[in-house]
Amino acid sequence: MNLGHIIQEEIREAFQHLFGHTLSEKELNLLPTRKEFEGDYTFVTFPVARYSKKHPEETARLVGEALKNTSKVIGDFNAVKGFLNLSVSLDTWLERFSKTYNNENFGRLPLNGKLVVVEFSSPNTNKPLHLGHLRNNFLGYSVSMILEAAGYKVEKVNLVNDRGIHICKSMLAYLKFGHGETPESAGIKGDHLIGKYYVKFDQEYKKQVTELVETGMPEEEAAKEAPLIKAAQEMLRDWESGKEEVVALWKKMNNWVYEGFDITYRRMGVSFDKIYHESETYLLGKKIVEEGLKKGLFYKKDDGSVWADLSDEGLDEKLLLRADGTSVYMTQDLGTADLKYEDYHYDKSVYVVGNEQDYHFNVLFKLLKKLGRPYADGLYHLSYGMVDLPSGKMKSREGTVVDADDLMDEMAATAKKHTLELGKIDGFTEEQANELYEVLGLGALKYFLLKVDPKKRMLFNPEESIQFHGNTGPFIQYTHARIAAIRRKAEQDGVTYDDFDVKKITECHETVRPIIFMMENYEQLLHEAAENYTPAVIAQFAYDLAKEYNRFYTEEPILKEEDENYKKFKVALSVQVGRAIRESMSLLGIKVPDRM
């Protein structure tokens, strides 16, 4: 039980004793005391004055006095208006720290026996990954780590969109203009090679459309009649009917893409427990539509197309099956939901997909609910906002996308530049140095993308993202490196620190309490991060802790402390902060170096 809960219980008891009323969980609202007031926790008495039948301030004072007499943890209090500010005694804080320090499972909540599937990444195989994918991947991976730390069993899955007209466009352009080029012969990654032909297709296609328009054809018609688009559609039909040479080319080109993706994923530090391919799932879902028809949930129009009417739920009618009997996006997603459930029997299933698909998932979940799927209540769309550039929205056709590989290169290069300028890595081998640049560059990038609430649209300013000062990944990493240096030096000097004795400590630097306070609250925070699927609060924690620790570090001598026991404590406190930083950063997928 954390300190907040203990205090809540004590308040409940005191209140019951004083006023004969038992407060509910919600009424026991406890918040951190604001900086400008004395105290650690604040209990707001406005809402409970109706039970005490006294003014809020009087209520606060009475509860405060009662606590001061009976509480095992509260040392003092003050009441301002309806705010009861409670100061936890130093003894208690130190005691709590001791407990945290010796807790080997710090930052890990007990297993809750529940399984959650997190689907993320979901790339198309016709172009390389870009900045938008980075937010998606980092988010999905981080949320998976957070859920795991919060006690869930987590399965990370990736549903690769490896088929469809967009792939055929790349294939067609490759056939026409590729001259048998390969990633090896071209010297570029497979995904970039395929992306090149996707762009090529678009260019050539536009030319054709322009030519047709010049002959007097309306633009809309020209867009449909251009030979290239017709050829691409034909190729898709050939693929669906299993035409050998098309399938062979498709396999070859997709494999190039996967080889490229693998490199990118590895560098990003994300991985999956299972990869689904749309080429294997796109036909699923038809049976579910049939089932819905039979149950009278869906209906068939005269042309044979199948629809769901969700107007009673405030939504539109939605197509589920085309007139020719082929599936659409929704059909497929109905099918994969069942498939994933068969595979995992999950309690929760999270889809990490951008907010432009809010409506789609809203409909999907309602349909599955209507169909009576047992897992329907556990579905969650983790809807995240677009990443904008200072120049506006990213558009692949306009060449304004920020390529993932390029971006990671740049981040690492900048890390290298800064590191060399500072000259702090004497004795590093070249390999170690390069690894450090990766850790710092990726750390900066991940932190930049994850510190913002996922739901919010965010601006990616390349110059700011590459900053290593202030509220950034490298700032936190640096704090960890400092602590690691303390630990190294302590061990070098033969200073043991596990054996500190908190009972002998009577006074502490003013930063010690807030540091302990933050770590005390960490598990609560982790719980919140998991419930709300948001790495942002973990990022905020790591930053706040690092910031507070840095103050401690600059204002207090640690290894030069003369009181031997207090010195041990300070080292232990540092080590524990280091652990908390490492742990929280790992939930963001960010590594922390021992030297930088």
Which residues, numbered 168-197, are part of the site for RNA (CB under 7 A)?
none
Q: Which is nearer to RNA, 86 or 183 (CB)?
A: 86
Residue 289 gets the label, from left (phi > 0), alpha (psi -120 to 50) or beta, of alpha
Q: Which is nearer to RNA, 104 or 220 (CB)?
A: 220
381 has which bridge partners? Answer: 351
Q: Which is nearer to RNA, 98 or 305 (CB)?
A: 305
Confirm or reject binding of residue 564 to RNA (CB under 7 A): no
Place of tokens 């669906």: 240
Task: Report whether 307 contacts 319 (CB < 8 A).
Answer: yes
Q: At its nearest, how many Å lie between RNA and the CB of residue 191?
A: 17
- Using the contact rule CB under 7 A, the part of the chain among 132-140, 241-249, 404-412, 544-552 near RNA is 544-552
Cα(545)–Cα(553) distance, integer angstroms: 12
Cα(374)–Cα(356) distance, integer angstroms: 27
Q: Which of 272, 283, 301, 202 shows the shortest CA–CA distance to 240?
A: 283
Confirm or reject binding of residue 512 to RNA (CB under 7 A): no
Confirm or reject binding of residue 275 to RNA (CB under 7 A): no
Q: Which is nearer to RNA, 174 or 448 (CB)?
A: 448
Q: Which of 279, 280, 161, 329 shows the shortest CA–CA distance to 320?
A: 329
- Which of 61, 188, 559, 565: binder of RNA (CB under 7 A)? 559
Cα(355)–Cα(361) distance, integer angstroms: 10
Q: At its nearest, how many Å lie between RNA and the CB of residue 228?
A: 16
Burial of 564 (0-12, 13-18, 19+ CB in 10 A): exposed
Chain residues 438-457 in contact with RNA, contact rule CB under 7 A: 440, 451-453, 455-457
Cα(44)–Cα(63) distance, integer angstroms: 11
Q: At its nearest, how many Å lie between RNA and the CB of residue 104?
A: 26
- Which of 230, 434, 557, 563: binder of RNA (CB under 7 A)? 557
Chain residues 519-538 in contact with RNA, contact rule CB under 7 A: 528, 531-532, 536-537
- Using the contact rule CB under 7 A, the part of the chain among 196-204, 238-246, 288-296, 414-422 near RNA is 414-422
- Which of 348, 446, 482, 513: binder of RNA (CB under 7 A)? 482
Cα(257)–Cα(251) distance, integer angstroms: 10
Confirm or reject binding of residue 422 to RNA (CB under 7 A): yes
- Which of 89, 357, 396, 586: binder of RNA (CB under 7 A)? 357
Chain residues 323-342 in contact with RNA, contact rule CB under 7 A: 323-324, 327-329, 332
In degrees, rounded to 5, the angle at the alpha carbon of residue 247 between the alpha carbons of residues 245 and 249 is: 70
Query: 301: which 2 tokens?
Result: 């129009």
Cα(312)–Cα(557) distance, integer angstroms: 68
Q: At its nearest, how many Å lie between RNA and the CB of residue 107?
A: 18
Q: At its nearest, how many Å lie between RNA and the CB of residue 88?
A: 14
Confirm or reject binding of residue 233 to RNA (CB under 7 A): no
Cα of first residue to Cα of last residue in the chain, in angstroms, is: 37
Q: At its nearest, how many Å lie between RNA and the CB of residue 180?
A: 29
Spell out the residues 6+ positions from residue 24 whose beta carbon is closer than 8 angstroms to its own: none
Q: Which is nearer to RNA, 9 or 37 (CB)?
A: 37
Q: At its nearest, how many Å lie between RNA and the CB of residue 188?
A: 25
Query: 436: which 2 tokens?
Result: 């450090």
Query: 546: which 2 tokens?
Result: 């690092």
Task: Report whether 549 contacts 478 (CB < 8 A).
Answer: no
Place of tokens 């704090």: 479
Q: With contacts defined by CB under 7 A, how many residues of the chain interact with RNA? A: 97
Confirm or reject binding of residue 468 to RNA (CB under 7 A): yes
Report the 10 Å Cβ neighbour count for 125. Answer: 29
Q: Which is nearer to RNA, 178 or 449 (CB)?
A: 449
Q: Which is nearer to RNA, 62 or 183 (CB)?
A: 62
Chain residues 191-230 in contact with RNA, contact rule CB under 7 A: none
Confirm or reject binding of residue 464 to RNA (CB under 7 A): yes
- Which of 59, 100, 142, 419: binder of RNA (CB under 7 A)? 419
- Using the contact rule CB under 7 A, the part of the chain among 69-77, 213-221, 247-255, 466-474 near RNA is 466-474
Q: At its nearest, how many Å lie between RNA and the CB of residue 46?
A: 3
Confirm or reject binding of residue 560 to RNA (CB under 7 A): yes
Place of tokens 């990022």: 539
Report the 10 Å Cβ neighbour count for 49. Answer: 17
Chain residues 50-109 in contact with RNA, contact rule CB under 7 A: 56, 80-83, 85
Residue length of the chain: 596
Confirm or reject binding of residue 400 to RNA (CB under 7 A): no
Q: At its nearest, how many Å lie between RNA and the CB of residue 134?
A: 15
- Using the contact rule CB under 7 A, the part of the chain among 141-149, 217-225, 227-235, 546-554 near RNA is 546-554
Cα(46)–Cα(60) distance, integer angstroms: 9
- Which of 424, 434, 491, 496: binder of RNA (CB under 7 A)? 424
Q: At its nearest, how many Å lie between RNA and the CB of residue 44?
A: 4
Q: At its nearest, how many Å lie between RNA and the CB of residue 282?
A: 7
Residue 80 DSSP SS3: strand
Q: Which of 343, 377, 348, 273 shows the shortest CA–CA distance to 113?
A: 348
Query: 391: which 2 tokens?
Result: 């120049």
Confirm or reject binding of residue 472 to RNA (CB under 7 A): yes
Q: At its nearest, how many Å lie between RNA and the CB of residue 422?
A: 5
Burial of 60 (0-12, 13-18, 19+ CB in 10 A): buried
Place of tokens 């930083």: 581
Chain residues 132-161 in contact with RNA, contact rule CB under 7 A: 161
Q: At its nearest, how many Å lie between RNA and the CB of residue 419?
A: 4
Q: HEC string of 199-234?
A: HHHHHHHHHHHHHHHHCCCCHHHHHHHCHHHHHHHH
- The residue type at 58: E
Confirm or reject binding of residue 366 to RNA (CB under 7 A): no
Chain residues 280-309 in contact with RNA, contact rule CB under 7 A: 282, 301, 303, 305
- Which of 11, 15, 33, 64: binder of RNA (CB under 7 A)? 33
Q: Which is nearer to RNA, 188 or 559 (CB)?
A: 559
φ and ψ at 341, to 5 degrees? -70, -40
Q: Which is nearer to RNA, 118 or 232 (CB)?
A: 232
